[in-house]
């Protein structure tokens, strides 16, 4: 019988076979042999006996593969449904507005009257039966810089919407209309008693915004003062924000604000102090209350009190000693130095506190010390010895500020001239932007100091 040897595994195969029974590979015939095939099995182990084992493994994997496929299908279906739902929401909100825009800008250039405008776009959404659509419309209008004027009456109408999220959203959006939304004030005042905190909160903020744009408008003050007692801390916070926006018109609310500066909420305390700061000269109780707050160990109480004193102007003079003690406070030192410089530049003792600030190792404290001494002009002449070392300091911008301060002091700063003259010949290797300004600032300072010799 004629046979060949497989060139891959060496097994003998029939001459007319195309594949080796042992290794399964396609055979290129070798030199034929006419020797009878051996009776013994080939040395290589045939692969066919393993087939049942592989089949068993593949059969056991079928349920697992099917389960994985089903999970993937469910995930895909969930993603598809979610994307479809979101697309529906987007179209529900923006499609009318897009249609209205196309209508306005078509090639016919047809003029659209306010009445026609209010019938489409956001007006349609505000009148939708879907509360979420009405809510989203108010949110979109409130995010505009200049919302459509003809929408204001529609928004005011929805301040009485049955859905609390719509009432709250419209109460926020109406503030964008400023003084032109004066008709909304009575409705917003009534919303301060709403059953839901969200409309109460947004109404309080909008009352302050709208009232601040109308001269002598103060109808909301007693109602906002009452809202400082609201059980919801966010409502109390925005009641203080609303009062803060109205400036000195909130004098009747001072007693309520003095209580609110001890509120359990950091935001309520901070905004209440900010509302009281411009009124410090109007009520003798305000500055002592702030000074007392400076002793609080909680920085969320102390820091707003310092800022409020800085904004209180000359009325904060009694607080200077307490603010001076805080210059060494790691957290409050810089804020205290700024407050001293902002409130009390007209008083001679302020210079001594700012000198302490210039000599302080804390960078933020030094910065405000130099800056505010520079604003005091000749009154800061006692600070010249403290400012001269700053001309050699590490921070280039502080060298610039110190040179300006010395120049503003004028002839009384002649002790600084030797160092200023040296600086004209120094070459700076610094990437600070102020490095380019320094030579010119130094020359100007020298000229101001030598003004009497010119």
Query: Can you spell out the DSSP letters for 313-349?
Result: GGGGGGGHHHHHHGGG-TTTHHHHHHHHHHH-TTSTH
Total domains, the chain: 3
Q: How far apart are the first and last CA of the chain?
A: 129
- Do 371 and 413 fall within a single domain? no
Domain-terminating residue out of 342, 375, 408:
375
- Do 312 and 369 fall within a single domain? yes
What tens digit of pLDDT does each residue of 152-168 get? 999 999 999 999 999 99
- Do 427 and 371 fall within a single domain? no
- Do 328 and 403 fall within a single domain? no
Does this model's pTM top 0.85? My answer is no
- Dump the DSSP string for 188-213: HHHHTT-SSHHHHHHHHHHHHHHHHT
Q: What is the pLDDT along the chain (454 residues), one digit of tens a residue?
A: 566 667 666 666 676 766 677 766 666 544 444 444 444 444 444 444 444 554 444 455 556 667 777 888 888 888 888 887 777 665 555 544 444 444 444 433 333 333 333 344 788 888 889 999 999 999 999 999 889 898 999 999 999 999 999 999 999 999 999 999 999 999 999 999 999 999 999 999 999 999 999 999 999 999 999 999 999 999 999 999 999 999 989 999 999 999 999 999 999 999 999 999 989 888 999 999 999 999 888 888 899 999 999 999 999 999 999 999 999 999 999 999 999 999 999 999 999 999 999 999 999 999 999 999 999 999 999 999 999 999 999 899 999 999 999 999 999 999 999 999 999 988 888 887 888 899 999 999 999 999 755 4
- Do 346 and 412 fall within a single domain? no
Which residues partner with 365 through β-bridges?
none
Query: What is the rounded CA–CA span in Å between residue 198 and residue 192?
Result: 10
pLDDT at site 123: 81
Q: Does residue 171 lie in a domain region?
A: no
pLDDT at site 322: 96
Phi then psi dihedrals of residue 312, to 5 deg: -80, -10
Q: Does residue 253 lie in a domain region?
A: no
- Do 322 and 356 fall within a single domain? yes
Choose among 38, 25, 34, 24: nearest CA to 4: 34
How many helices, marked H, and strands, marked E, lie in the chain? 22, 2
CATH of the domain at 363: 1.25.10.10
Query: What is the rounded CA–CA span in Å between residue 418 and residue 101?
Result: 70
pLDDT at site 194: 96
Q: Are 202 and 237 in contact (CB under 8 A)?
A: no
- Its domain, for residue 420, covers 399-454
* CB-based contacts of 294, cutoff 8 Å, min separation 6: 302, 305, 306, 309, 319, 322, 323, 326
Query: What is the rounded CA–CA span in Å between residue 316 and residue 311?
Result: 9
Which residues partner with 12 through β-bridges?
5
pLDDT at site 2: 60
Strands (E), 222-306: none
Choose among 158, 160, 120: nearest CA to 142: 158
Domain-terminating residue out of 319, 342, 375:
375
- Do 310 and 363 fall within a single domain? yes
């Amino acid at each position: 019988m004629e046979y060949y040897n497989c060139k891959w595994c060496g097994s003998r195969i029939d001459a007319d076979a195309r594949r080796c029974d042992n290794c399964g590979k396609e055979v290129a015939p070798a030199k034929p042999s006419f020797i009878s095939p051996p009776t013994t099995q080939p040395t290589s182990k045939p692969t066919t006996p393993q087939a049942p084992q592989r089949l068993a493994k593949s059969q056991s994997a079928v349920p697992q593969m099917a389960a994985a496929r089903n999970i993937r299908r469910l995930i895909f279906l969930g993603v598809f449904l979610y994307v479809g739902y979101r697309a529906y929401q987007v179209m529900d909100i923006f499609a009318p507005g897009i249609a209205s825009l196309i209508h306005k800008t078509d090639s016919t250039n047809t003029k659209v009257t306010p009445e026609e405008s209010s019938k489409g776009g956001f007006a349609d959404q505000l009148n939708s039966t879907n509360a979420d659509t009405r809510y989203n419309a108010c949110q979109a209008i409130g995010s505009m810089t200049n919302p459509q004027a003809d929408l204001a009456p529609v928004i005011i109408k929805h301040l009485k919407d049955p859905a609390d999220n719509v009432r709250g959203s419209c109460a926020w959006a109406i503030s964008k209309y400023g003084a032109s939304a004066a008709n909304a004030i009575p409705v917003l005042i009534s919303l301060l008693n709403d059953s839901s905190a969200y409309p109460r909160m947004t109404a309080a903020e909008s009352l302050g915004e709208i009232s601040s744009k109308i001269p002598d408008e103060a109808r909301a003050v007693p109602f906002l003062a009452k809202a400082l007692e609201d059980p919801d801390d966010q409502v109390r916070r925005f009641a203080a924000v609303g009062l803060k926006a109205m400036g000195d018109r909130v004098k009747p609310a001072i007693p309520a604000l003095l209580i609110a500066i001890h509120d359990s909420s950091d935001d309520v305390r901070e905004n209440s102090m900010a509302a009281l700061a411009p009124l410090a000269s109007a009520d003798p109780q305000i500055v002592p209350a702030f000074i007392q707050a400076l002793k609080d160990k909680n920085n969320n109480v102390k820091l707003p009190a310092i800022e409020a004193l800085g904004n209180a102007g000359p009325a904060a003079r009694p607080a200077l000693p307490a603010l001076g003690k805080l210059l060494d406070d790691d957290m409050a030192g810089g804020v205290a130095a700024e407050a001293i410089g902002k409130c009390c530049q007209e008083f001679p003792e302020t210079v001594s506190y700012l000198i302490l600030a210039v000599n302080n190792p804390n960078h933020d404290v030094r910065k405000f010390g130099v800056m505010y001494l520079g604003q005091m002009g000749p009154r800061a002449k006692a600070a010249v010895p403290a400012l001269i070392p700053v001309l050699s300091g590490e921070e280039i911008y502080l060298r610039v500020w110190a040179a300006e301060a010395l120049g503003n002091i004028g002839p009384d700063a002649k002790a600084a001239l030797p160092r200023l003259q040296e600086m004209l010949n120094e070459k700076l290797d610094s990437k600070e932007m102020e490095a380019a300004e320094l030579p010119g600032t130094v020359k100007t300072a020298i000229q101001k100091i030598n003004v009497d010799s010119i």
